[in-house]
Structure 1
């Protein structure tokens, strides 16, 4: 009986008196600060929220084009599209098969690809050279950047009458028009990347007494490559845009010429075949540039990776 009374007094005694029970952990204040919430979330098994675009899906870039073709096919099958204005995918496939069997599509495609490749090559070389001259030399910037900025405001197609007057209507004029559009895109982006290199990197190279070639290879090239690839992708697009126009100016071959001839006879299926061919060439070229860019810039860790 005496033991029971002693335990009761001990349990009801206020904290701090002799024989009182120790305080419970619940009486302690909860921890505060930035580390409390993540620690609690980690104990509960919660993962931090992802803010990036997510994981890449293999061949995910084909989803958009496939959906576009599916909508086109469905609209044609349901009769929403007038075949005299826009032929259905079945008719276009049949026409493409006929053009391939006769060799007409391959011959015109090879001519178009040759023109685009030559214009792209000359345009990239000219754009990079001008960007290096303007980006690494103050006098070069004064001489080159102004005319190139003026040229950027003037579309290459607006120069077409003057180029025809100077160069005629042959292949030289067509390649020149394509090269002008490519060179401006490559120059603008490469020049912006060169002038955007951190000045502290240049000061460090000077303090280390790096030579000109080592400076270009270790500092300039890595700093300019991201902008160059942006300009190259835009240049590829510009090459095919210029190709479409120049092949409809007194041309005797090429996909643009084939489309122009089809327009005279209201053959919308042939025109769509030409457009699809241009689209495939442009998409494949852009994908190739992306692959090269990913490998050349493998040292970067960006959201696209």
Structure 2
């Protein structure tokens, strides 16, 4: 009887310890997966640039690349500090930001309006879409000579080039998103008695937002690309002008400073667009999580 009681007293403890041990072993992979998930997304996105800079440092330090061809990160850092002390970097950066933001605002506005007119009306599509597709096939930079003839060599031509380059990705992606709205939602809106304006505001525009943000990400990157070239054409200010002056006297470190600035601007602007997209499309992430 005593032996039986002793066994009965020990067995729950033994079973409980086995169960706890099994739970700990099963929970270990879960904890490790949770630990991996806790890495901030923004910090993970910095991994690629960090690796790129490390490769750049190794290539220049080991002598694989001539310093006259590609300045080292240390030389670029010294050049950036020198430009900051003289105020050249801040002044030219401010000018480039003004040009890019103005051109981006104009291009996005025009692209969205054209996409809505062409996507929502049959007449608008007939009048606009073919012409815009022809213009899109032309290289934007090939229009530089004609733009200079029309607008001179001032600020207008640079903003015009950025606006044109930005407009087409916005138009294409927004137009495709407007036309790609699920017809079932349109039928449901008609069933509940929504008018055309309410249909556009409550169904078509929210449904086209993902395409709009895709075009906006392309447009932001293209804006900086076109700005680099436009600021090297008869410019007297801007990061592109600073790089042109450095090229004339062989300062590769200053050229690299300009390239790094453009790269950082592109990364920051793309991150801001992604954050804006995440805030605006919270309903989409909620549906996808179900």
- Give the TM-score of the pair, scaled to structure 2: 0.84
CA displacement 1:26-80 (0-9 Å, x = unmatched): xxxxxxxxxxxxxxxxxxx7x9xxxxxx958411110000000011111212121
Match of 1:137 in 2: 121
2:223 is the counterpart of 1:239? yes
Counterpart pick for 1:99 among 83, 86, 103: 83
After TM superposition, give the deviation of residue 201 of structure 1 in Å: 1.6
Does 1:288 find its partner at 2:253?
Answer: no
**Residue 141 of structure 2 corresponds to residue 147 of structure 1:** no
Shift of 1:182: 0.3
Distance in 1 separating the partners of 2:245 and 2:209: 42
Task: Pick which of 95-104 and 210-219 moved more.
Answer: 210-219
Instruction: Tell me how far 1:129 sits from its aligned partner.
Output: 0.2
* Structure 2 Cα separation of the partners of residues 248 and 118 of structure 1: 18
Partner SS state of residue 189, structure 1:
helix
Q: Are 2:237 and 1:220 equivalent residues in the alignment?
A: no
Shift of 1:212: 2.7
- 1:298 and 2:282 matched: yes
Q: Distance in 2 between matches of 1:304 and 1:264?
A: 53
C-alpha distance in structure 1 between counterparts of 2:285 and 2:90, whole Å: 41
How many residue pairs get aligned? The number is 255
Where does structure 1 lack aligned partners over 5 or more consecutive residues?
1-44, 48-53
Distance 2:133 2:284 in 1: 30
Q: Are 1:125 and 2:103 an aligned pair?
A: no
Q: What secondary structure, in the 3-state scheme, does the structure 2 residue paired with 1:192 have?
A: helix
| d(CA) in 1 for partners of 2:219, 2:286 | 23
Aligned equivalents of 1:73, 1:56: Cα separation in 2: 30
How many Å apart are 1:199 and its aligned residue?
1.5
The yes-or-no answer on 1:85 pairing with 2:69 is yes
Cα root mean square deviation, aligned: 1.9
Match of 1:276 in 2: 260
1:171 and 1:205 map into 2 onto residues whose CA distance is: 46
- Could you say which structure has the larger radius of gyration? 1
Q: Which residue of 2 aligns with 1:116?
A: 100
For the pair 1:66 / 2:50, whether they are aligned, the reply is yes
Hey, which of these two has a bigger chunk of helix by percent? Answer: 2
State the match for 1:41 in structure 2: none
Q: Distance in 2 between matches of 1:228 and 1:57?
A: 29
Deviation at residue 241 of structure 1 after TM alignment? 0.8
Deviation (angstroms), 1:156: 1.1
Distance in 2 separating the partners of 1:56 and 1:185: 35
Residues 124-182 of structure 1: per-residue CA shift (max 9 Å, x gap): 00000000000100110111111111111112111111111111111011100000010
Correspondence 1:138-177 to 2 at 5 A: 138-177=122-161
Matches within 5 A, 1:243-262: 243-262=227-246
C-alpha separation between the residues in 2 aligned to 1:283 and 1:291? 12
- What is the TM-score of this pair, normalised by structure 1? 0.80
CA distance in 2 between partners of 1:110 and 1:228 (Å) = 27
Using the alignment, how far apart are the partners of 1:299 and 1:56 within structure 2?
Answer: 23
SS of aligned partner of 1:300: helix
